[in-house]
């Protein structure tokens, strides 16, 4: 791909998170003393021009590429012009597949910020083998889903003895608001749970398992963890799936690896309130009329203000046991859904475009595709990885 016109193309820069990612690349793509050739892509040229104008005079000549998920030729042209595509165009289950297909066919690396398990499983079923043949690295969930957990697990495992069983628990705490796009993705995912389960089972039947090793996800139960922050509840997001896929692919996770994933809610009454709220949302998402009512609560493109993002934070605690040794680590940062996600997404693309990485292809997790190189990048970007107890 050395002769491609661009290093990175950002598709979806006119959306809320896409705009923040454009701003991040504008500030950081040239760091390290090497030039990064990047471009913006989208279906509305005037909106792309507005984004470019917002980036300042230094980027007045930034290339703009017209591309639409409903125009296969336009996506093929984008994919063939660049080493890496970043896409922020969701919900991915509705709009994501055409760009995955284009990148897998062109041998182009791909990153997104999806938290939609059904989409990730569908893309593995349809394009993993094609990407392996073309050399493309298809890396989903390169934002707050699932970088802190996936890289946090890798960071923690690296501080434990090799070749021994490892039991790892992850605990997520955050104070943040979410955008309309994130809300719409979540509601659509809730409405497709039955199909999502079928797709997950189909992938599980076809996906190779590690030889001579065991990797398990443990669902856990609600319980009190005073040293973590109070009551915790199992949190069945895409994040534990990502951690477990990394563990299956990498022998460093040991001969017997288990992972449990929790949300820290603090006080006991909140456990019951969250369960009722989640149950109601899932029930309402099952039929189109009630799902449409939920979707009207927040419009796509809406997001928290700069002041709200400045007050937001996240903290992911990893607690591990291995061969009598205990380690606790923390991954932490600011606004998880937008400020930090734009960092993670931008640095993942720069990592794929610039860094010496393992020669792997197909659909990969961030830890498998980029590993320690991406940890180093997001640390330099201000996201903290630290050992707090040994």
Note the pLDDT of residue 303: 73
Judge whether 83 and 353 are in contact, CB under 8 Å. Answer: yes
Strands (E) located in 193-267: 214-217, 223-225, 230-234, 256-266
Q: Which residues of 146-171 are buried (b: 16+ CB within 10 A; e: fewer)?
A: bbbbbbbbbbbbeebeeeeebbbbbb
Q: Cα(326)–Cα(113) distance, rounded to whole angstroms?
A: 32
Q: Is the peptide bond before 91 cis (omega within 30 degrees of 0)?
A: yes
CB 168 within 8 A of CB 320: yes
What pLDDT sits at residue 33? 61
Q: Which domains does the chain have, with CATH numbers?
A: 6-144+340-379 (3.40.50.720), 147-336+384-389 (3.30.360)
Predicted confidence at residue 286, as pLDDT, reads 81
How, if at all, do strands 82-87 and 109-112 pair? parallel
Tokens, residue 166 = 């490892």
Closest CA to 295 of 275, 305, 281, 280: 281
CA dist 47 and 53 (Å) reads 10
**Paired residues of 256 in beta bridges:** 214
Residue partners of 280: CB distance under 8 A and separation at least 6: none
DSSP 74-101: HHHHHHHTEEEEEE--S-HHHHTHHHHH
Indicate the SS3 state at residue 143: strand
pLDDT, position 280: 73
Q: Average pLDDT of each block of 10 consecutive residues along the chain (390 residues)?
A: 90 93 95 85 96 95 96 97 96 94 98 95 98 98 96 98 97 80 69 86 94 94 93 92 98 98 85 69 76 73 81 96 95 94 97 96 98 98 93
- pLDDT recorded at residue 335: 93
User: What is the pLDDT, as a whole number, of residue 334?
Assistant: 96
Which sign, positive or negative, has the C-alpha torsion 240, 246, 247, 249?
positive
Taking CA 123 as the corner, what is the angle to CA 318 and CA 173, rounded to the nearest 5 degrees? 25
């Amino acid at each position: 791909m050395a002769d491609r016109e661009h290093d990175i193309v950002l598709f979806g820069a006119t959306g809320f998170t896409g705009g923040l990612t454009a701003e991040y690349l504008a500030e950081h793509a040239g760091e390290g003393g090497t030039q990064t050739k990047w471009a913006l892509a989208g279906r509305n040229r005037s909106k792309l021009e507005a984004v470019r104008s917002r980036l300042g005079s230094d980027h007045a000549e930034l290339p703009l590429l017209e591309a639409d998920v409903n125009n296969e030729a336009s996506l093929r042209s984008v994919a063939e012009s660049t080493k890496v595509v970043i896409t922020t165009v969701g919900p991915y289950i509705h709009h994501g597949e055409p760009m995955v297909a284009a990148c897998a066919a062109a041998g182009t690396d791909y990153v997104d910020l999806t938290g939609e398990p059904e989409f990730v499983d569908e893309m593995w079923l349809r394009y993993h083998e094609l990407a392996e043949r073309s050399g493309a690295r298809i890396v989903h969930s390169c934002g707050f889903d699932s970088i802190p957990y996936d890289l946090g697990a890798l960071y923690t495992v690296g501080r434990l003895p090799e070749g021994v069983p490892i039991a790892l628990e992850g605990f997520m705490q955050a104070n943040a608001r979410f955008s309309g796009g994130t809300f719409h993705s979540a509601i659509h995912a809730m409405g497709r749970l039955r199909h999502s389960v079928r797709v997950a089972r189909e992938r599980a039947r076809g996906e190779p398992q590690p030889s001579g090793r065991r990797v398990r996800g443990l669902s856990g139960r609600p319980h009190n963890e005073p040293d973590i922050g109070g009551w915790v509840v199992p949190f069945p997001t895409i994040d534990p799936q990502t951690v477990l896929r990394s563990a299956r692919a990498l022998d460093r996770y040991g001969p017997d690896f288990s992972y449990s994933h929790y949300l820290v809610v603090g006080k006991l009454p909140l456990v019951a309130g969250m369960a009722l709220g989640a149950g109601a949302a899932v029930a309402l998402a099952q039929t189109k009329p009630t799902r449409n009512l939920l979707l009207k609560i927040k419009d796509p493109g809406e997001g928290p203000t700069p002041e709200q993002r400045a007050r937001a934070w996240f903290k992911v605690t990893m607690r591990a046991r291995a061969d009598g040794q205990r380690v606790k680590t923390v991954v932490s940062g600011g606004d998880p859904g937008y400020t930090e996600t734009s960092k993670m997404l931008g640095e993942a693309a720069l990592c794929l475009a610039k860094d010496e990485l393992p020669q792997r292809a197909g659909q990969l997790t961030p830890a498998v595709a980029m590993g320690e190189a991406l940890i180093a990048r997001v640390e330099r970007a201000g996201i903290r990885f630290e050992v707090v107890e040994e």
